[in-house]
Amino acid sequence: MARYFDIHPENPQRRAIGQVVDLLRADGLIAYPTDSCFALGCQLGSAAGLERIRTIRHLDDRHHFTLVCRDFSQLGQFVYLDNTVFRALKAATPGRYTFILPATKEVPRRLLNPKKKTVGVRIPDHVVTQALLDALGEPLVSSTLLLPGQAEPLTQGWEIKEELDHVVDAVLDSGDCGTEPTTVVDFSEGEPQIVRHGAGDPTRFES
């Protein structure tokens, strides 16, 4: 049975955040809010957590997982950025974008796109997510909480608790955070390619 954490949206309780981090470090899987919609998340080194996300969402090995990072310096440890891409990402973060980029050796092989050796990265503009990332001290491996056969992600914490009670270890609820996933921009070939139009304004990446 999943633990349910009612988190204050502006002043997240340290004790609750600490308990969630303990679950993550014990190979746990959580459902948590972001600035676009709810996501599933596990620790970077958790092979079991990754497989649980794949199972819940029915994902194949071509799916791009996302490293949700606290800040730009953390993001830069996991992907390669040239000066042009650096400036483009810096101007758009934190925000509701996911960027696909070539991964560094810091990224476990199981997270990479098998052909392109790329990974998704993002920096969310969300108080609760930032508190969680700050306490964890490393990125969260994440995927949008969009269940098979559903057109939109789940948005209510209690609904997620009911639906995923026996397949996740915790649900963090800080209120409604929307239904639209991030805009996904692929920079792996140098020029930006919009893979998915979502919550972030795509026009800044359109030529």
**What are the boundaries of each domain within the chain?**
3-205
Reported as a single tens digit per residue, the pLDDT across 95-132 is 999 999 999 999 999 999 888 899 999 999 999 999 99
Reported as a single tens digit per residue, the pLDDT across 127-156 is 999 999 999 999 999 999 999 998 888 888
CB neighbour list of residue 95: distance below 8 Å, 6 or more residues apart: 35, 123, 124, 125, 200
Contact of 43 with 139, CB cutoff 8 Å:
no
Q: What is the pLDDT of residue 152?
A: 84
In angstroms, rounded to a whole number, what is the distance separating the alpha carbons of residues 10 and 33?
A: 13
Assign domain 3-205 one CATH number from 3.40.309.10, 3.40.50.300, 3.40.1440.60, 3.90.870.10: 3.90.870.10
Q: pTM of the predicted model, to two decimals?
A: 0.96
